[in-house]
Structure 1
Amino acid sequence: MPEPAHTPRGATEADRESLRALVGEVFRPSLMDEYPQLYHAETLGNCRVVEVGGDIVSHVGMTVQDAAIYGCRVRVACIGGVATHPDHRGNGYAGACLDDAIRVARESGTDIMMISGDRSLYRRAGCRRVGEEYSPSLSGEALAALDHSDLTLREATVADIPTLRALHHGEPLHWKRDPDTWRRAMECGWVMNRKSRFVIVEAYGEAAGYVIVQDISDGETWPQVSEYAGDRARMLRALAAYAADTEAPGMRWHVSGHDAFGLAVARAAGARWPESTTSGTYVVLDLPQLLGRMRPYLTEYLGGADALRVEPIGDGYRFDLDGATHHVPDIGCAAHFVFGTREDRPTAAPTSGPLADAFPIPALFYGLNYV
Structure 2
Amino acid sequence: MADIRLVRPNEMAEAVKLSDSIFRDAQQISMKPAFPDVFSTALGQSYGAFEDGKLVSFMGLVSVTIRIGKAMLGTYQLGSVGTDPAARGKGYASQILQRIFDHIDKAGASLLLVSGDRSLYTRVNCLPFGVIRRYTVDAAAAQELQSRHASEGVRVRDLEATDWLYLRELAGARLTRFEQSVTDLANLVHSEAFVSCIKMKHRVLVAERDGKPVAFLVAAVPNPPLDPKRVPFLIEAAGDGPAVALLAAYALKRMELEQIELPVSVHESDWQEALAPTQYQEEPNHGTIYVVRPERLIEQLRPYWEETAPGRHEALRVQSAGDGRVKLEYDGLSAELAPQAFISLVFGGNEGMAEHSTLRSSLKELFPVPFPFTAGLNFV
TM-score w.r.t. the length of structure 2 is: 0.88
Gaps of 5+ in 1: none
1:158/1:183 contact within 8 Å kept: no
Percent identity of equivalent pairs: 23
1:302/1:354 contact within 8 Å kept: no
Please give the per-residue CA displacement for 1:5-62, whole angstroms capped at 9, x wherever unaligned. Answer: x23211122112211221111111622221123223322x100111123321101101
Change in Cα spacing, 1:76 to 1:247, as seen in structure 2 (3 Å) is same
Map of 1:166 onto structure 2: 169
The AA in structure 1 aligned to 2:316 is L
1:333/1:347 contact within 8 Å kept: no
d(CA) in 2 for partners of 1:106, 1:202: 43
Map of 1:32 onto structure 2: 32
Q: How does 1:158-237 map to 2 (within 5 A)?
A: 160-191=163-194, 193=197, 194-216=200-222, 218=227, 222-237=231-246
Change in Cα spacing, 1:337 to 1:100, as seen in structure 2 (3 Å) is same
Please give the per-residue CA displacement for 1:147-192, whole angstroms capped at 9, x wherever unaligned. Answer: 4774333433565332222111100011112344223323334445
Q: How does 1:1-371 map to 2 (within 5 A)?
A: 4=1, 6-28=2-24, 30-43=30-43, 45-145=44-144, 146-147=146-147, 150-156=153-159, 160-191=163-194, 193=197, 194-216=200-222, 218=227, 222-267=231-276, 270-299=277-306, 300-301=308-309, 303-304=311-312, 306-315=314-323, 316-329=325-338, 331-343=339-351, 345=353, 347-350=355-358, 353-366=361-374, 367-371=376-380
Greater displacement, 243-252 / 351-360? 351-360
d(CA) in 2 for partners of 1:94, 1:221: 28
d(CA) in 2 for partners of 1:58, 1:68: 32
The AA in structure 1 aligned to 2:130 is G
Q: Match of 1:358, SS?
A: coil
Aligned length: 363
Q: Match of 2:285, SS?
A: coil
1:190/1:196 contact within 8 Å kept: no
Greater displacement, 346-355 / 208-217? 346-355
1:158/1:186 contact within 8 Å kept: no
Q: What is the CA-CA distance between 1:107 and the residue it aligns to? A: 0.9
Gaps of 5+ in 2: none
Q: What is the CA-CA distance between 1:135 and the residue it aligns to? A: 0.5
d(CA) in 2 for partners of 1:220, 1:131: 25
Change in Cα spacing, 1:215 to 1:342, as seen in structure 2 (3 Å) is farther
d(CA) in 2 for partners of 1:353, 1:12: 49
Change in Cα spacing, 1:180 to 1:98, as seen in structure 2 (3 Å) is farther
The AA in structure 1 aligned to 2:81 is V
Greater displacement, 87-96 / 159-168? 159-168
Q: What is the CA-CA distance between 1:326 and the residue it aligns to? A: 2.2
d(CA) in 2 for partners of 1:179, 1:133: 27
Please give the per-residue CA displacement for 1:236-284, whole angstroms capped at 9, x wherever unaligned. Answer: 01111221111211221111112223222222xx311111111111111
TM-score w.r.t. the length of structure 1 is: 0.90
d(CA) in 1 for partners of 2:41, 2:377: 18
Change in Cα spacing, 1:279 to 1:233, as seen in structure 2 (3 Å) is same
2:3/2:51 contact within 8 Å kept: no
